[in-house]
Structure 1
Amino acid sequence: MKRYLSILTVLFFLLTLGACKKSYLDTTPSDQIDAAKIFDNINNVKVALNGIYRATYMQYSDQEQDGHPAMMIVLDFMGEDIVHTATGTVYFRGAYRWTDHRSELNDLPYFSYRLYYRIIANANILLEGIDRVPDATEAQKNVIKGECLALRGWAHFMLVQLFGMRYDKTTLSDVSSQNTTSARVQLGVPVVTKYSLDPQPRNTVEEVYIQVNKDLDQAITLLEGAPPRGLYRTHIDKSVAQGIKARVALTQQNWTDAAYYAQEALKGYQLMSSTAYLDGFSDMKNSEWMWGAHQLPEQLPAYGSFFAYMSSNFNSSHTRPNPKKISISLYNSLTNTDIRRKLFCDNINDYINFPGVIDASTGQPVTGQTRALYMQKKFVVADPAVSAGDIPYMRVAEMYLIAAEAKAKLGLLNEAADIIDVLAKNRDPNYTRPDNISDIANDNNGLIMMQRRIELWGEGFRFLDLKRLKLSLDRSGTGSTATLANVGVNTPISADNVRWQFLIPRREIQANPYMVQNPL
């Protein structure tokens, strides 16, 4: 990992040396900070921590590399619920066609690998230095430690899901016996808990999850009693750490913990109103947003950003010829009274409700834009001249869905249905629970999974859901074409196919003598 960690050091210094610039921060600092003085006082440490959060959504080497939001796009494009209308630009095309992640020379493995390891390395730097800050109280140190541990756990979790085999909760003897056919002892990613330039080998999938859970458990304890975050929930608090823990438990099929932590995480939040649901998913002051990126217009790169690719109204070379649609079969599962149905076009001539991309100079729909049935307006920027908006990393609705899925897998079907009732009735006032809920936990098209797919559409979950649930990628009946989608339309990609794993990038293989690739 030497090549990556040397880059990480540079990034950390950039985020602190440039801390007087708004473009690197979630808030506006008052002073410039010398990198050598980060640990001189608690305010300097807070600015550096802001820089780590900024690193979750800053642009790296290319316009399709806008941090974790770019990975959100990748992971949904690799599923079946987002459908492309036309070829569009080259950006994210390889993800949609399932080619980019299977080349060790490609930018996608390299970008995703270094993105999350940069976050880990910078979190480690703060964890190792926070105790020597002279003016920091124990409570202030605990908050910094808690946030950094949660970030480190989250980043390792993202990496092992991408580059490792799916977690398979089989027998407890798998690890001790080193049964190499078990996904739990297959190679995952290196666990990095100290800042170091020394290369490290890949840990097993099981070992990575052990460290992830250790970090999150510590974070939850340390963030107890932390000051409230206010309207802009860009930092991790206890509820977000619990939400990440719930995600991890769900992936590990630890149903009891998944249900518990999801229900703990959602306390104190409210589901949004139907009116708010149509506001464009670009403002984190929404009542049910738990964690996200607060992107300011001056932070935007020259090209790119999440909303330049995913918004329905920003006029870019990516959105104008290729509006994103919802799967036809998923759309047809929605009732006419479900507010979520209004996010998707049922009449291409309806320019009032679905204006599409907007000419910022006139405020009118752009002529010549591609329009299509089922095109979305879930993601809308407030100013069509600027592709800036808040980006959702975690919402309360997800916690309801995690709790319901976990309860159902435990056989507590009525409890699961009770949880789904709350979310479903909020989205559809005419929702009624099915008389027969025996199939509620079906991973393919059960009630919970269908609610999850429509609720989290476009927020970066579908590929990971398919992988953790050991489902095939099946794009038949979605409106996808073999020409555009390349895979999964005529012949599903089976759950056992090796292509569910990202390849370790060649640059890491060459720089790290201990690094080995999974079988191709």
Structure 2
Amino acid sequence: MLRKISAVILMCSLLVNVSCSEDFLDTKPTDSISDKDAFASVENMFLVLNGLHRQMFAQSPLDGASGSRAGQQYFQPMFDVYCGDLIHSSRGNGWMRSGLQWLDHTNANTTTVRNLWYQRYHFIAAANNLINKTAENGFPEGDADVANILGQAYAYRAWAYHQLVTTYAKGYLIGNPSTDLGVPLLLEAGAPYTSEPRSTVEVIYDQIEEDINKSIAYFQNASAPHDKSHLSLNAAYGIKARVALSKGDWAIAADAAARARDGFPIMSEAAWKSGFNTVELSEVIWGGRVIDAETTYYRSYFYYICPTFNGSQNRSNPKTVNIERFNQIPATDYRKEAFLPLAPNTNSAASNGQGGSYLTDPNYDNATDFNQAKADIIARYGMTSRHNTHPYMHVKFLQKNPGTIDPDDVIYMRSSEMYLIEAEAKAMLGDIAGAQEALRPLGEARDSAYDVTAFNTQDSFIEHIKFQRYVELYGEGFSWHDHIRWDVGIDLTNSGAAQVLYQNGFIQGKPSVNDAWIWKIPQAEIDANPNISEADQN
């Protein structure tokens, strides 16, 4: 009964007042409770927040969104796929194919550009309601539970706007933020259908920074988070670190990252190799705890990314590592074991043209060895006999119950990311010694022969950070925005990706000179919002 009530409040909190169209009024659920009741008590506001936590990984029932994009479960792997860091080995069943070919985010009419836009604005609308109704109802901000609600609401709004402005606008560090167009700024409940014009990138960042600082202030006096799926003081500092990193506020980024990871120790080797399938891992600061009743099955993170998930996306299309990056991993670094360079190419439809048998796979010269290699991988990792294998496939993400469609958790933020942010920020400040000390704990935990002093100039250290972020955060959704921040283009010539599959996505110029890195504003938004015209399109 509680789940049903919570779902109803979710629908109310995210759909009430988000559109003025007659179509919206016709499809509004008849059992939704009133906006007034949804925010009438602190207890109800927590239920609204619970709805937001679920929307991070749920198939979206929201106006303007789509059930085919289940929140971060879709967008995290997508951001790695689109820039060729999480490589598809075949055409598979079509998921993300148009994205990796750069046909998706460059088209204003696609589901992907529409869904990311509207889903983030639904988060903003709900956060606006939580913030504004708290004041309207006279709830005491000094109350620990009210402070918790406001801390989470401001953090969600900051996170959502940061996702929007870093995706639908030119990168802060490579553009002119005071004049570059960002996204509509809305501080009242309501999505941007007939709302506001595009504010500048600078204005949006100013609001993000104000929001995340308010979030941190409220969390200082808030009740403790009930679960890692809830935003917390540490998560707010993590968001602040990401925001500061993306705009070059290096000192703020370093300080916030150090605060974010406090209390979340680096994982052991055994934990790192366990599959990244639970928020109970010591490093997880923020993540979605997915239970059986709320799983999205064939729209889940593990469906898109996990080599053992029993779905057609991974049975036919195991994801591989960039071979150039793999070759940079020292033999003493246990993360190298997350990739299988000699996995047999068993898929006759593999895009590199070498799949199907030992006759086409250059790593094998007889059927016995070829078949035994596949059998060994299936036995070790728990795939089914229908799963294909492919050279350089990853085994980083593994199900708790391999070979099934059972749900697993989704990790949004880890302390390893925070070590990497602090190290990068200090290096950009010219503090190479400080950067080395910031990175040392992570490097030494992963590589038994690690020597951080080998990277003793700013240029060499930043190149090393790029390598470390790729290996440590592989598949966790950071590559797209990393490329923008570093102003690095795409060249998959020696990566193992097939040009026949990747097409436009095989080579792309760096973001500062290539506006294709900026996502199109959804055509539905331009059609509905009188304050945004075709002239405002990216």
| CA displacement, residues 147-167 of structure 1 (integer Å, 9 cap, x when unaligned) | 100000000000001100110
Contact 1:310 1:379 in 2 (8 A): yes
- The question of 1:80 aligning with 2:84 is answered yes
SS class of match (1:80)? coil
Moved more, 125-134 or 326-335: 125-134
Distance 1:502-1:357 versus aligned 2 partners, 3 A rule: farther
Corresponding residue for residue 142 of structure 1: 147
- The question of 1:236 aligning with 2:231 is answered yes
Moved more, 135-144 or 274-283: 135-144
Corresponding residue for residue 382 of structure 1: 400
Contact 1:84 1:323 in 2 (8 A): yes
SS class of match (1:100)? coil
**Following the alignment from structure 2 to structure 1, what is the Cα–Cα distance between the partners of residues 222 and 379?**
42
Matches within 5 A, 1:125-164: 125-131=129-135, 132=137, 138-164=143-169
- The question of 1:182 aligning with 2:176 is answered yes
**Following the alignment from structure 1 to structure 2, what is the Cα–Cα distance between the partners of residues 467 and 167?**
9
Q: 2:117 aligns with which of 99, 113, 117?
A: 113
**Following the alignment from structure 1 to structure 2, what is the Cα–Cα distance between the partners of residues 303 and 519?**
33
Q: 1:216 aligns with which of 212, 215, 226?
A: 212
Distance 1:14-1:249 versus aligned 2 partners, 3 A rule: closer
Code of the aligned partner of 1:142: A
**Following the alignment from structure 1 to structure 2, what is the Cα–Cα distance between the partners of residues 211 and 135?**
24
Please report how far the alpha carbon of residue 37 of structure 1 lies from its aligned counterpart in structure 2 after TM superposition: 2.1
SS class of match (1:233)? coil
SS class of match (1:354)? helix
Contact 1:308 1:387 in 2 (8 A): no
Please report how far the alpha carbon of residue 346 of structure 1 lies from its aligned counterpart in structure 2 after TM superposition: 2.9
**Following the alignment from structure 2 to structure 1, what is the Cα–Cα distance between the partners of residues 373 and 435?**
38
| CA displacement, residues 387-445 of structure 1 (integer Å, 9 cap, x when unaligned) | 411111100000000000000001111111111111011111221234352155565xx
Please report how far the alpha carbon of residue 324 of structure 1 lies from its aligned counterpart in structure 2 after TM superposition: 0.3
Contact 1:284 1:292 in 2 (8 A): yes
Identity between Structure 1 and Structure 2 (%):
29
Corresponding residue for residue 13 of structure 1: 12
Matches within 5 A, 1:77-476: 77-131=81-135, 132=137, 138-168=143-173, 182-196=176-190, 198-229=194-225, 232-301=227-296, 303-348=298-343, 350=373, 354-355=377-378, 365-384=383-402, 385-439=404-458, 443=462, 446-476=463-493
Contact 1:313 1:356 in 2 (8 A): no
Code of the aligned partner of 2:130: L
TM-score normalised according to structure 2 size: 0.84
Corresponding residue for residue 478 of structure 1: 495
| CA displacement, residues 479-517 of structure 1 (integer Å, 9 cap, x when unaligned) | 11111111353x443321110111111111010011135
Please report how far the alpha carbon of residue 233 of structure 1 lies from its aligned counterpart in structure 2 after TM superposition: 0.4
SS class of match (2:184)? coil
**Following the alignment from structure 2 to structure 1, what is the Cα–Cα distance between the partners of residues 186 and 379?**
45
Distance 1:380-1:307 versus aligned 2 partners, 3 A rule: same
The alignment of Structure 1 onto Structure 2 pairs a total of residues equal to 478
SS class of match (1:366)? coil
SS class of match (2:189)? coil
Corresponding residue for residue 366 of structure 2: none
**Following the alignment from structure 1 to structure 2, what is the Cα–Cα distance between the partners of residues 442 and 101?**
32
Contact 2:10 2:52 in 1 (8 A): no
**Following the alignment from structure 1 to structure 2, what is the Cα–Cα distance between the partners of residues 13 and 436?**
53
**Following the alignment from structure 1 to structure 2, what is the Cα–Cα distance between the partners of residues 142 and 123?**
14
Please report how far the alpha carbon of residue 266 of structure 1 lies from its aligned counterpart in structure 2 after TM superposition: 1.3
Matches within 5 A, 1:3-82: 12-13=11-12, 36-60=36-60, 62=66, 64-82=68-86
**Following the alignment from structure 1 to structure 2, what is the Cα–Cα distance between the partners of residues 63 and 88?**
20
**Following the alignment from structure 1 to structure 2, what is the Cα–Cα distance between the partners of residues 425 and 437?**
16
Long gaps (5+) in structure 2: 1-7, 17-31, 344-371
Distance 1:441-1:353 versus aligned 2 partners, 3 A rule: farther
Code of the aligned partner of 1:503: K
Contact 1:441 1:449 in 2 (8 A): no
**Following the alignment from structure 2 to structure 1, what is the Cα–Cα distance between the partners of residues 131 and 428?**
37
- The question of 1:511 aligning with 2:507 is answered no
SS class of match (1:189)? strand
Corresponding residue for residue 4 of structure 1: none
Corresponding residue for residue 346 of structure 2: none
**Following the alignment from structure 1 to structure 2, what is the Cα–Cα distance between the partners of residues 330 and 405?**
19
Moved more, 131-140 or 242-251: 131-140
Long gaps (5+) in structure 1: 1-8, 18-31, 170-180, 359-363
Code of the aligned partner of 1:415: G
Corresponding residue for residue 29 of structure 1: none
Please report how far the alpha carbon of residue 33 of structure 1 lies from its aligned counterpart in structure 2 after TM superposition: 7.3
Code of the aligned partner of 2:188: K
Contact 1:42 1:136 in 2 (8 A): no
**Following the alignment from structure 1 to structure 2, what is the Cα–Cα distance between the partners of residues 136 and 407?**
36
